[in-house]
Amino acid sequence: MPIAPDPTPRPLDHLAMRGNDADTALVLRGHTLNWNGLRTRIAQLAGWLAKQVPTKGARVATWAAKGELTCLMPLAAARAGMVHVPINPLLKRAQVKHILNDCGASLLIGNAARLAALEDGDIPPSCTSLEDMLVLDASKDAAPLSDPSDADPDDLAAILYTSGSTGRPKGVMLSHANLWLGAVSVAHYLEMARDDVTLAVLPLSFDYGQNQLLSTWYAGGSVVPLDYLTPRDVIKACGRHGITTLAAVPPLWIQLLGQDWPEDAVTPMRRLTNSGGALTTDLVRGLRQLFPQARLYPMYGLTEAFRSTYLDPDLVDDHPTSMGRAIPFAEILVVDDAGEIASEGELVHCGPLVAQGYWQDAERTAQRFKPVPRGSQYGGMAVWSGDNVRRADDGLLYFIGRDDAMIKSAGNRISPQEIEEAAIATPFVEEAVALGIPDEKLGHAIHLVVRGDGDDDGLRGALRRELPNFMQPSVIRWLDAMPLNPNGKIDRARLAREAA
């Protein structure tokens, strides 16, 4: 039976109370935690955090691979009254420096190799850095905070950093209510149960990845976190652990469909979920053929409002390119240029899943978070997505295109300006334009157009040192002069046409 979508938000750490004591909650490399063990470790880690950083609302950042610490921290930090800032393990020191300084972190916990990559001045003077394994050991001797938090559900619980179309990553502020109701909503429409086992292959540093944990734990199920190197690692884990729920992005689905799947990895699968880019008709058909017994959930979301829509699996075969309809607790409106409800226009997300804005960035908050449009059943603020959509007569939504210049590659939202700034910071480039060109496997491939000395190897080497792998350009094009538009600005539209 589907879980009832209880609309009452609670402090996030109350998720630790959902499962049966002896049932498995978290499967790690060297050991397994049942629900009673999960509650014990969360209480110990929360107690250690409260002693280490006694200031309520302090930001604690984690920069490490999936494991006990990164899985427990969302609930432990919530119980200790802190704000969790998960950092994508793929980021390099320049991005990490920005995040730590922007959020004013008091504590950074990371593995030894990542911490060693930081340089003097990267960590704020008021921030302490500690290795994750030392923290795990020390927390076992801490006085536990065993009582669930009594925090106001509207209190800030996490800051998730996401790239914007311009500038450095910006921190999306999520409350306990945002994260709790997101878990309730997804667990409900996915029809999750206590005997479900989720393979968490997505990064825990963004909303889709975090919800792998939170929705499964709301249902009282079990999570198997996995940092994979090859698609075969994912398939082996599915067979080894009897995985019932697998969430991925289109580039990973393409890789997985190109592999042989043994029966023990296919048979237990109950549901597949997709976000971070649209599924193609061929991908839908391939997944339906490989997993005929599993229900396929195409989804659309944005970090500023968590998740917005999903397509009912019963409609996937007949409407493979649709975004579906609103998820529980979300109101999705289509608004035209005049601000009126229309059949085609900008997707506007209203309701309790809407985030609290961008951390200490009133200007960019005002651009994206605006009062709900006329016709909304909710008051307060809405997220204006910048995505143009169409609502068909049957109520199903279809994506048309983006208004901004964001690059979405391999499930990652990438700021063109961040790549451009990194290129210009090298001694090889005077001007740079980063473009996202449609690519069948990646969603977008990054094309970097530059004016400089033509040292391709030198530029690529510098970018590899400063940017994570998913930000590396597929193509670098060197020009003697950038084309200009009538306003004297670089003609990005012309460069995009030429690259395409």
d(CA 343, CA 49): 50
Q: What is the pLDDT of residue 147?
A: 96
Q: How many domains does the chain have?
A: 2
Per-residue pLDDT at 169: 84
Secondary element (H or E) of residue 497: helix 492-499
240 lies in the same domain as 266: yes
DSSP state of 288: H
Q: In whole angstroms, what is the distance from residue 184 CA to residue 2 CA? A: 11
Flag whether 401 is in a domain. no
How many angstroms separate the Cα of 80 from the Cα of each of 104, 116, 186, 274, 468?
18, 28, 26, 33, 32
- Read off the pLDDT of residues 148-199 as tens digits, 9 standing for 90 and up: 999 999 999 999 998 654 567 899 999 999 999 999 999 999 999 999 999 9
Task: Name the domain boundary from 345, 364, 391.
Answer: 391
Question: Residue 411 carries which DSSP code?
Answer: T
Q: Residue 310 corresponds to which tokens in the numbers above?
A: 């999903």
Contact partners, residue 22, CB within 8 Å, separation at least 6: 34, 35, 36
346 and 426 share one domain: no
Q: Are residues 37 and 180 in the same domain?
A: yes
Instruction: Retrieve residue 229's tokens.
Output: 């190197």
Taking a C-beta distance cutoff of 8 angstroms, is the pair 204, 71 a contact?
yes
Contact 378, 351 (CB under 8 A): yes
CA atoms within 13 A on the CB side of 232: 0
Residue 269: both structure tokens together = 């699968």
Query: 420 and 375 share a domain?
Result: no
Q: Which two tokens stand for residue 316?
A: 């996937």
> For residue 3, what pLDDT is reported?
56
Stated as kind and residue range, the H or E segment containing 34 is strand 32-34
Helix (H) or strand (E) holding 384: strand 381-391
Within this chain, do residues 469 and 370 fall inside the same structural domain, yes or no? no
Residue 1 lies in a domain: no
Please give the C-alpha separations between residue 179 and each of 67, 303, 326, 424, in angstroms, as whole numbers. 20, 11, 17, 38
- Is residue 2 situated within a structural domain? no
Task: Tell me how far CA of residue 345 lies from CA of 334, 355, 386, 399, in angstroms.
Answer: 5, 22, 9, 10
Give pLDDT < 70 ranges for the chain: 1-4, 163-167, 403-404, 486-488
Which residue's structure tokens are 């983006």?
402
Rounded Cα gap, residues 254 and 278, in angstroms:
12
Q: How far apart are CA 163 and CA 414, in angstroms?
A: 5
Q: Is residue 49 part of a domain?
A: yes
CA atoms within 13 A on the CB side of 358: 21
In this structure, the number of other CB atoms found within 10 A of the CB of residue 473 comes to 21
Do the beta carbons of residue 153 and residue 7 sit within 8 Å?
A: no
Domain containing 107 equals 12-391
Same domain, 143 and 286: yes
| Any domain includes 35 | yes
Determine how β-strand 309-310 pairs with β-strand 245-248: unpaired
Beta bridge partners of 62: 86, 109
- Predicted local distance difference test score (pLDDT) of residue 487: 54
275 and 182 within one domain? yes
pTM (whole model) above 0.85: yes
CA distance 279 to 249: 9
**Same-domain status, 176 and 219:** yes
Q: 161 with 249, same domain?
A: yes
20 domain residue, yes or no:
yes
| Other Cβ atoms closer than 10 A to 393 | 6
Please tell me whether residues 300 and 416 are part of one structural domain. no
Report the interhelical angle of 231-241 vs 250-257 (nearest 10°): 80
Q: Specify if 396 maps to a domain.
A: no
Q: Which two tokens stand for residue 415?
A: 């700021």
Name the nearest CA neighbour of 386 among 316, 300, 327. 300
Same domain for 254 and 181, yes or no, is yes
In 10 A of CB 56, how many CB atoms? 12
Q: How many residues does the chain have?
A: 500
Report yes or no on 208 lying in a domain: yes
The continuous run of DSSP H or E covering 157 comes out as strand 156-162
Instruction: Work out whether strand 59-63 and strand 83-86 pair parallel, antiparallel, or are unpaired.
Output: parallel
Q: Bridge partners of 300?
A: 309
Q: Are residues 412 and 379 in the same domain?
A: no
In the sheet where 475-479 sits, what is the strand order? 429-439, 443-452, 475-479
Tell me which amino acid residue 277 is: G
Q: pLDDT digits over 305-358, tens only?
A: 989 999 999 999 999 989 999 999 999 999 998 999 999 999 999 999 999 999
In tens, the pLDDT along 459-477 reads 999 999 999 999 999 999 9
Q: Residue 289 region, left (φ>0) first, then alpha (ψ -120 to 50), else beta?
A: alpha
pLDDT of residue 1: 44
- Domain of 466: which CATH number? 3.30.300.30
The whole-number pLDDT of residue 488 equals 63
